[in-house]
Amino acid sequence: MDRRKFINTAAATGAGLLILPSGARAGKNAPGNKLNIALIGVWGRGLAHYDSISEENVVALCDVNENRFADALKRFPNAKTYTDWRKCLEQKDIDAVVICTADHTHAFIANWAINRDMHVYCEKPLAISVEEARTVRANWLTKKGKLATQVGMQRHAGLNFNRVSELIRDGAIGDLQAAYAWGNRQIRRDGYLIGDGAPPAGFNYDLWLGPSPYHPYNPGYFSGGAGANCLSWNMFWDFGAGQIGDMGSHTMDLLWNAVDAKLPTSAEAKGEKFNPDVTPVECESHFEHPANDWRGPITVSWYQGGAMPRSPKPSIDLTKIGHGAMFKGSKGFLISDFDSRMIIPFGDNADMSYYKPRTTETLLPPVGHFQKQWFDACKNPSAKTACDFEYSANMIEQMLLGLVAYRVGKKISYDGATGKVTDCPEANEFLSRKYRDGWTLNG
Ligand SMILES: NC(=O)c1ccc[n+]([C@@H]2O[C@H](COP(=O)([O-])OP(=O)(O)OC[C@H]3O[C@@H](n4cnc5c(N)ncnc54)[C@H](O)[C@@H]3O)[C@@H](O)[C@H]2O)c1
């Protein structure tokens, strides 16, 4: 039995612990029962994972910027270092990969890791094109139950996510009709930065560009602080998906968790004038979703950069909530930010007699520590993670379809089964990105 199978079997049955190599202690965190982790992208957001991955064995560190290794090795002295994630994933003893790189490489690394039977935690957004989202989901679905996946939408562990979901499911606002999420972050750029100097020694800029078309180096892409540098590049089409991938991943998650939707049947969007270099700041997109087994058909909307849904009452100023969600039901509205919520019963029949609060015992169980939920699932992959690659890919595929509709400037019909726009041939061109030679999305 190989190492990974041993870990899974031991965790699933408890029995494998009896055959641990001599000298190893029993128990989930015993040395013989730790995951071998590769961290790809060791600085910035990567730093936020140090504490949780240090509970496991960190065996590989990968970063395009070699200057980041000295500090990372102080924390993880036994790890091998790499500048090219493709080489890193060749290391045979890796069980699980944490991806904290720039957005335009997420789906690539996730696919390559899944295809090599590695568990994956991928920072948000999981993908920046519809095709990327679909490939990652399809790959993972063939290994669901064997490999654990999680997208870094860690706000999901906040208890408010469950409370909102329960209120919607339990009918606190009657029958759900529509849901809206928004974010007010506005970072404007005119276009790709002009070339300015050479990359510093040790920074492999061409590997940073990876699959994306060439753009000359400019230090402006790398001027942000740790964990905020993504705001220096994520608005450019070749490097990210703007606020859809950024705060949109977190805020749509608040809505997505409650509406229990899969792929939309249509998308339409409008926003500021199209810029071939930069994703729109102000934009809104609307999606139709079919009924499921507990609700009728709904519309889902995303607003960003100043666009906002209409408030149900002039006295309620939704713009006071920077990143939030609102749900419209037959008996009222629910408005939520990340950690609190309010219900507005609406209309003569909205007497709440139809709603029965849950008892403490029947509340949805808490997610707990978000990264640990994934570690636990790596050791017992039949356990569920909150933001696995099916839930998260569906969510980001919908959001990215909004950008496609924005680009063609009309309402499009979508067939989620085939991944094709059925009534607007030119829209299908925008479902995928063009990659540089030598880079394979599903390798
Ligand atoms: N979950 C959250 O709340 C949260 C918060 C911040 C950032 N993020 C996400 O984390 C990711 C990184 O954001 P950041 O601000 O740390 O960016 P960053 O530009 O600082 O990059 C992080 C690290 O990854 C390295 N890197 C970049 N591309 C690489 C590649 N192809 N191979 C190996 N290393 C590579 C960089 O050199 C850097 O050390 C983004 O996708 C962002 O959306 C998530």
Query: Residue 39's beta-bridge partner residues?
Result: 61, 98
Rounded to an integer, what distance in angstroms lies between the CA atom of residue 145 and that of residue 148? Answer: 7
Whether the predicted pLDDT of 385 surpasses 80: yes
Q: Point out the ligand 1 atom lying closest to the alpha carbon of residue 124.
A: 43
Query: Which atom number of ligand 1 is nearest to the Cα of residue 47?
Result: 16
Q: How far is the CA of 100 from the centre of ligand 1 (A)?
A: 4
Percent of the chain exceeding pLDDT 70 equals 93
Query: Mutate which of 50, 123, 205 to test ligand 1's pocket (most atoms within 8 Å of Cβ)?
Result: 123
Say yes or no: CB of residue 63 within 6 Å of ligand 1.
yes
Mean pLDDT, rounded, for 70-81: 98
More confident residue, 31 or 292: 292
pLDDT computed for residue 4 by the predictor: 56
Tokens of 161: 């996510």
Tell me which residue has its CA closest to atom 9 in ligand 1. Answer: 123
**Residue range 169-185: average pLDDT?**
98
pLDDT tens for each residue of 124-157 = 999 999 999 999 999 999 999 999 999 999 999 9
Residue 218 or residue 11, greater confidence: 218
Is the Cβ atom of 124 under 6 angstroms away from ligand 1?
yes
Tell me the percentage of the chain whose pLDDT exceeds 90: 92
Answer yes or no: is the C-beta of 385 below 6 A from any ligand 1 atom. no
Ligand 1 atom 39, closest CA: 43
Task: Find out whether the beta carbon of 211 lies less than 6 Å from any atom of ligand 1.
Answer: no
Q: Is the peptide bond before 125 cis (omega within 30 degrees of 0)?
A: yes
What homologous superfamily does CATH list for 158-187+242-367+389-431?
Dihydrodipicolinate Reductase; domain 2 (3.30.360.10)
The closest residue, in CA terms, to atom 42 on ligand 1 is 230
CB distance 249 to ligand 1 below 6 Å: no
Angstrom distance (rounded) from CA 424 to CA 351: 45
The predicted structure's pLDDT at residue 24: 35
Atom of ligand 1 nearest to the CA of 84: 32
Distance of CA 333 to the CA centre of its chain: 27
CB 243 near ligand 1, within 6 Å: no
Stretch 50-75: mean pLDDT: 98
- What would the pLDDT profile of 321-331 be if each residue is shown by its tens digit? 999 999 999 99
Q: 303-313: per-residue pLDDT in tens?
A: 999 999 999 99
Cα of 158 vs centre of ligand 1, distance in Å, is: 23
Is residue 65 lining ligand 1, measured as CB closer than 6 Å? Answer: yes
Q: Is the pLDDT of residue 436 over 50?
A: yes
Compute, in angstroms, the gap from residue 226 CA to the centroid of ligand 1.
9
pLDDT in tens, 371-383: 999 999 999 988 9
Q: In what order do the strands lie in the sheet with 323-329?
A: 341-345, 332-336, 323-329, 176-183, 298-304, 283-289, 266-271, 412-415, 420-421
Condensed to tens digits (0 to 9), the pLDDT of residues 89-125 reads 999 999 999 999 999 999 999 999 999 999 999 999 9
Instruction: Report whether residue 46 contacts ligand 1, using a CB cutoff of 6 Å.
Output: yes
Name the average pLDDT for the chain: 94
Distance 365 CA to ligand 1 centre (A): 31
Confidence of residue 33 (pLDDT cuts 50, 70, 90): confident
What residue spans define the domains of the chain? Answer: 158-187+242-367+389-431
Report the residue count for the chain. 443
Q: Does 132 sit in the ligand 1 pocket, CB within 6 Å?
A: no
Per-residue model confidence as pLDDT tens digits over 218-275: 999 999 999 999 999 999 999 999 999 999 999 999 999 999 999 999 999 999 999 9
Q: Is the CB of 102 under 6 A from ligand 1?
A: yes
Q: Is the Cβ atom of 253 under 6 angstroms away from ligand 1? A: no
Measured in Å, residue 46 CA sits from the centre of ligand 1 at 7
Verify whether ligand 1 is closer than 6 Å to residue 103 (CB atom): yes
Residue 13 has pLDDT above 50, yes or no: no
